[in-house]
Structure 1
Amino acid sequence: MSGKLSDKQRLRIQTRHKVSIQNYGYQPQALFWSNQEIQELRFQKLLEFLPDYIQVGGQEMWSLLDVGCGFADFYRYFQRHDLTPDYTGIDLSPDMVAGALALSKNLNIQVGELADFDYADNQFDFVMLSGALNEVVETEIEGTLSEQGNYAKSVISKMYQISKFGIAFNLLDRRYAWHQSRPDLQSFYPDEMLEFCQSFADEVVLIEGYLENDFTLYLTKTERSA
């Protein structure tokens, strides 16, 4: 299970995002969201993973790694809900990171995929990801179609490893016919991803029903493994 993109894969993804920003600017559509409302509905499901003492605006400092942060819209969503994590964002696209820093100048945001960083086990209280695993990585033209989904699983496993309390992320739902018309997007069967996550995580919760084509997973660490 490879957790590192090839140079060809990195260039393809970075180029796609560069063109998207040229077309849409610093808008959710540049991140391949249909609109801001859909983007923020996914954010809301991730926010609901946080403990109550954080959700109600507790002052205790907590750290968050946002994997594939795009323009760091998730951070500003937290701000609007009176939440101020010790935020770190990473994104493979230099253009996305430049956009994020233009919108929020003082944030800690770096260019790279998760495997580029030597994060320690349990380094971040929480690790989250929204939409960053929607793009197909393993393709037929690159001869890696038989490995489709392996990169995503590797990223999820690493996220869990470097979190202290747990992770939350969303994926596209393969049960609906829409995915056949979007070969550029990667989707998964919820039950299969649930089983995969249960193979290593202490507690796993599957969240469905908020959008037809999307699901969210919460992976929590118990005190024994944190």
Structure 2
Amino acid sequence: MTDIGPYSALVAHYEACLARHGDTCKGVDWPDAEGAATRYRVMAEAVRERDPIDLLDFGCGAGHFLDYLRQTDRKVHYRGLDLSARFVDLCRRKYPGVAFDCLDVMQDGASVPEADYIIMNGVFTERCGIAYETMFDAMTGLLAKMFPHARKGMAFNLMSKHVDWEREDLFHVPYDRIGRFIVSQLSRHHLIRADYGLYEYTVYVYKAAE
């Protein structure tokens, strides 16, 4: 594995989940299939158009979001991207003809794909021993890098601070802190969703008002 900074710990964690649980929801460290399906629905609802769109699944894991999209009537041209060569190899075997890239977008000179929408599901929900501020800086740096490559919008999820207790291995971020970053660095056109019953929330960030 190349040096990918703080994300090395996350990649190692998810690859260990895949080795332990195989190509399942637990293999990408979602606790159950029902919750995973809810997240895929919420991510898909970031797309405001019914017309065909290009979508980049950033941190695609085992490609389960593509499975979800194929069960809907959405007209999506899908592309997957992940830091883990193991997950990308798995996806290429499962989905022949679909583009999957193994890429560190933060490297100098990286050829970052563009899309109408960039979906980051589960990319920032865990921190696996990474110091909180290191994780926050890595997250905001990545969001700032990727948002210009989204022609219409971007979606990502974070663990909520409004929980019975917080877990040290998860990344709980206050609404107001992520909101300040989004407004100052990305766009005033955003929506924070915490209406789907999980101990997290999803942020939609758009280039323009609907």
TM-score bracket, shorter-length normalisation: 0.7 to 0.9
- Using the alignment, how far apart are the partners of 1:166 and 1:190 within structure 2? 19
Q: Residues 143-158 of structure 1: matches in 2 within 5 Å?
A: 145-158=132-145
- More moved, 28-37 vs 16-25: 16-25
RMSD over aligned Cα atoms: 2.3
Q: Deviations over 1:62-81 (max 9, x none)?
A: 21111101011111211100
Q: Quick check: 2:6–2:135 contact (8 Å CA) kept in 1?
A: no
Paired with 2:128 and 2:140, the residues of 1 have a C-alpha distance of 12
CA gap of 1:175–1:88, structure 2 versus 1, over 3 A, is: same
TM-score by length of 1: 0.81
Question: Structure 1 residue 147: deviation in Å?
Answer: 2.9
Question: How far apart, in 1, do the equivalents of 2:5 and 2:138 lie?
Answer: 14
Moved more, 25-34 or 84-93: 84-93
Alignment CA distance shift 1:217-1:9 (3 Å): closer
AA aligned to 1:63 is D
Contact 1:90–1:114, Cα closer than 8 Å, also in 2:
no
Pick aligned residue for 2:155 from 143, 168, 186? 168
Q: Secondary structure in 2 aligned to 1:196? A: helix
- The correspondence for 1:96, drawn from 67, 82, 87, is 87
1:9 deviates by: 3.6
Q: Is the 8 A contact 1:172 1:213 kept in 2?
A: yes
- Residues 184 and 126 of structure 1: CA distance in aligned 2, closer, same or farther (over 3 Å): same
Q: Percent of pairs identical after alignment?
A: 20
Q: Secondary structure at the match of 1:23?
A: helix
Tell me the equivalent position of 2:98.
Answer: 107
Instruction: Find the counterpart in structure 2 of residue 196 from structure 1.
Output: 181
State the alpha-carbon separation in 1 of the partners of residues 9 and 177 from structure 2: 28
How many pairs were matched up? Answer: 205
What does the per-residue CA deviation read over 1:165-194, in whole Å, with 9 as the maximum and x for residues that have no partner? Answer: 111111111232432xx3222221122212
State the 1:131 CA deviation: 0.5
Contact 1:201 1:221 survives alignment (8 Å): yes
Q: Which amino acid aligns with 2:22?
A: G
Instruction: Quickly say closer, same or farther: Cα 1:146–1:216, change in 2 above 3 A.
Output: closer
1:133 pairs with 2:130: no
1:65 pairs with 2:61: no
Instruction: Provide runs of 4+ in structure 1 moved above 6 Å.
Output: none
TM-score, with length taken from structure 2? 0.86
By how many angstroms is 1:90 displaced? 0.9
